[in-house]
Amino acid sequence: MSKKQFFKIVLLILGACTLTCSAIYLLGDAASKALVKLNEVLPYLLAIMGALSFAMFTYVDNTAKDLTDLRNDFPDRNKYFICQESLTRLKKEIISNIALVTVVFIADRIVQALAMALVTKFSNYEKWILESISICLAASCFAIVICALISQISGYIIAAEYREIIAKNRK
């Protein structure tokens, strides 16, 4: 993960936490209940993300193989290497996205378990703070998964465009 990607994730977490805290403060219990439902959706999103990642990796890998079959037909070998490098980066991004989503999911489950374990040991005010932090982190995890899913879909569109170009140039 590059510094730029890490910075984007940190900004995403801060933004999601800010929006979540604002919603909890302004709307109270109604916002808390709605935001808790996001956490229930997270395992399903992870399953979708995993299935999509597997399918997309296979698709990109097959596209790269098709491109390799055409390597001798490129008038400019430099363009071939640029295309191949782009597909390799896309495959690495797919793997890093699924790893990121898995780590985020595990972190979310750990935070939720800690919050449930610690909630009985605090006063009402401290419970409210703990629940707010827990909901903020869950919303951040949800936001990260959604952004990774959007990234996967845009990568799939790029791979489909490459596949179309390859198909048009096949003899």
Q: Kindly report, residue by residue over 41-100, the tens digit of the pLDDT.
A: 888 888 888 888 888 888 888 888 888 877 777 777 787 788 888 888 888 888 888 888
* 8 Å CB contact between 144 and 97: no
Q: Say if CB 35 and CB 23 are below 8 A apart.
A: yes
- Per-residue confidence band for 171, with pLDDT thresholds at 50, 70 and 90: low
Q: State the DSSP code for 163.
A: H
The burial of 61, by beta-carbon neighbours within 10 Å (0-12 exposed, 13-18 middle, 19 or more buried), is given as middle
Token pair for 126: 């401290």
- For residue 170, pLDDT beyond 70: no
pLDDT per residue over 95-132, tens digit each? Answer: 888 888 888 888 888 877 887 777 677 777 677 777 77
- Whole-structure pTM value: 0.76
Contact 131, 32 (CB under 8 A): yes
Judge contact between 101 and 145, C-beta under 8 A.
Answer: yes
